[in-house]
Chains A and B, each alone.
Chain A
C-alpha cells in the first residue's frame, strides 16, 4: 500500500512541469551502437533513495514511467528509444528515503545509429596498415622481388613424412582439429590440407581425413577432390578419403585413435584447433611409431604436442604453413607483411613500456581493447 502511494506520488509529480528539488541528470546518445539507446548518468544525492523511477517524455507528451532501478546506480541506458526522437528524462526517488527526491530534467537527447565504432579505432588502424603492407608486398612479389624466410623444420618435414609413408606403403592421417569451419584455425587447416593432398596425389599415398564437423567434412572433401584434380590424378581420388565421424569430442577421439591403431598410418598430421583431445590423439600416434607433425594456435595444447610429436608448428608458424608449402610469391608477400607489422608492433610495445614507465599512459590506453 505504501509502495502504491509512492508510485502515485511519483506519477503525479512526474507529470508536473518541473520538480521542486533537483540534481543534474545527463542524457546522451549511447556512442558506438546501432541506435535505439540513450545513456543517462548522474551524481546521486548524499542520501539516495531505495529505488529510482526513470521517467521519459518526448515533444508534446507528458512524463511517463519507463523503468524502476536500484537506488545505488549512477547510470542507466534506455534501450527502447526511437531513433531521431528527442527525449527528456527525469529520475524520481521511490521507497525508503525517496519521497520528494527528483532530478533536474535532462537536456534533450536523440538516439542515432553510429557509422563507425570509435572503440575499435586502434584495431582499424592496425588492420588498415596491415592490409596496406600486404598489398604493397604482393605488388613487390609480382614485380619479381624475392625474400628469404627462416626455415621451419616442421613444414619441411611434412613432405618428408608423406615421402616416408609412400616408401612404407602406408597412409597419411590428416586430423583437422575439432572446431567448426567458422574457426580460422580450421580454415588454415583446410588450406594446408590442399597442399598435403596435392603431395599424396602425386606420390599415390593413401590419405585419411576424419572430421568432427559435417561442415568441415564438406569443405575438406571439396579441397581434397580439387587437389587431386589439380595434379591430374582425379582417378586416384576416393570418396572415403574424407569422412565425417561425429561432432562429439571424445567419441571422435575414440574413432581416430581406432584408425591409428588399426590402419597404422606412417604419418599423422594434426593441424587445427585442439583441446583436451590433443594428448589423447598425439600419444596414441606416438605409440604406433608414426612420424607426427602437429600445429595449432591453442597455446595450452602446445606443450602436449611438443612432447608427443616429432615436429610442432607453434602459433604463427601454423598460419604461415600454406605460404611455405606452396612457395607462391603472393602468399610469401603476405608473410613479409606479417613480419614487418610484427617489427612495428614490437617498436610500439617498447615505446609504450617506456612511456608508461615515465608516467604517460597514452599508448597503453590507445591500444587497450576492453
Chain B
C-alpha cells in the first residue's frame, strides 16, 4: 500500500491536469486551478522542513566542531539575525519595501555578494573558452572557426574588416545554430512527454520506493 497510494495520487493528479490542459470548461478548469493553488500551499509548508534541515545540519556541525565550523556559525547567526529583523524591525511595512531594515540588509549584503558571485562568470568563461578553442580535432577546428567569426562579427571591427563578416555571423546564428537548437528542443519535448507519461502511468516508480516515507 505504501507504494500504491502515492502512485495512485500522482496518477490521478497527472491525468486530471492533462485533461485540464485541453478542457476550458469551469467544471474541470476550476478544479485544475485549485490544484495549482494546492501546490503553492504544499511548497509553503516545505519551507518549514527546509529551514529545519538547514538549522539541524549546521548547528550539529557547530556543536561537533566540524571542519570549517566558523562558516556554519556565520550562516546560522546571519540567518537568525535576518529573520529577526524581517519579522520585528520592518517598521510595520512589507519587509521588502524601501527603507526597511530588512531591505537594507538585502541590498547592502546579499545583493553585493550575489553580484560578486555572478561577476566571477566572466573569468570562468575566459578559462572555459581557452580550453574549448584548443584545436585538437576537426570538430574543434570547426567550432573555433565558427566562434572566431561570431566574436569578430558581433563587434565593430568585424564590419571594418568586411561587411560580409557580420552577415556570415548572422547566418551562422540564424541557420545552422537555429537548426541544431530546434532539433535538441524537439527531442527534449518528446522526452518531456515520455517522462510525463511514465510518471502518470506509474511505470516510473522512483517516488514509490518501499523505503520512501518510512
Residues of B in contact with A, size category? 35 or more
In the complex, residue of chain A having the shortest beta-carbon distance to the beta carbon of B114:
A250
Bound-state CA distance A186–B121 (Å) is: 24
B63 CB, nearest partner CB in chain A, Å? 13
Residues of A within 8 A of B53 (CB): 217, 221, 242-244
Please tell me if the beta carbons of A338 and B191 are within 8 angstroms of each other in the complex: yes
Q: Does chain B have a CB within 8 A of A96?
A: no
Bound-state CA distance A225–B197 (Å) is: 24
- Over the window 167-187 of chain B, the binary record of Cβ atoms lying under 8 Å from chain A Cβ atoms (1 yes, 0 no) is 000000000000001001111
Bound-state CA distance A284–B52 (Å) is: 29
Please tell me if the beta carbons of A226 and B128 are within 8 angstroms of each other in the complex: no
A278 CB, nearest partner CB in chain B, Å? 10
Residues of A within 8 A of B113 (CB): 250-251, 254
Bound-state CA distance A316–B195 (Å) is: 10
Bound-state CA distance A225–B199 (Å) is: 19
Residues of A in contact with B, size category? 35 or more
Please tell me if the beta carbons of A320 and B117 are within 8 angstroms of each other in the complex: no
Bound-state CA distance A115–B29 (Å) is: 10
Chain B CB within 10 A, most for which of A117, A130, A316, A328: A316
Please tell me if the beta carbons of A218 and B49 are within 8 angstroms of each other in the complex: yes
Please tell me if the beta carbons of A319 and B194 are within 8 angstroms of each other in the complex: yes
Q: A244-B53, A315-B191, A331-B198 are known contacts. Are A250 and B206 too (CB-CB below 8 A)?
A: no
Please tell me if the beta carbons of A130 and B124 are within 8 angstroms of each other in the complex: no
In the complex, residue of chain B having the shortest beta-carbon distance to the beta carbon of A190:
B206
Please tell me if the beta carbons of B39 and A225 are within 8 angstroms of each other in the complex: no
In the complex, residue of chain A having the shortest beta-carbon distance to the beta carbon of B212:
A226
Please tell me if the beta carbons of A191 and B124 are within 8 angstroms of each other in the complex: no
Residues of A within 8 A of B24 (CB): 32-34, 113-114, 117
Please tell me if the beta carbons of A320 and B191 are within 8 angstroms of each other in the complex: yes
A340 CB, nearest partner CB in chain B, Å? 10
5 A–B contact pairs at CB < 8 A?
A116-B22, A250-B114, A253-B117, A299-B185, A334-B197
Given contacts A226-B211, A230-B209, 10 further A-B contacts (CB under 8 A): A116-B22, A130-B194, A223-B209, A225-B212, A229-B209, A242-B53, A283-B127, A315-B187, A334-B203, A342-B190
Please give the residue numbers on chain A whose beta carbons come within 8 Å of chain B beta carbons, in ascending order: 32-35, 113-117, 120, 123-124, 127, 130-131, 134, 138, 180-182, 184, 187-188, 190-191, 193-195, 213-215, 217-219, 221-223, 225-230, 234, 239-240, 242-245, 248-251, 253-254, 258, 262, 276, 279-280, 283-284, 297, 299, 302-304, 306-308, 314-316, 318-320, 322-323, 328, 330-331, 334-335, 337-338, 341-342, 345
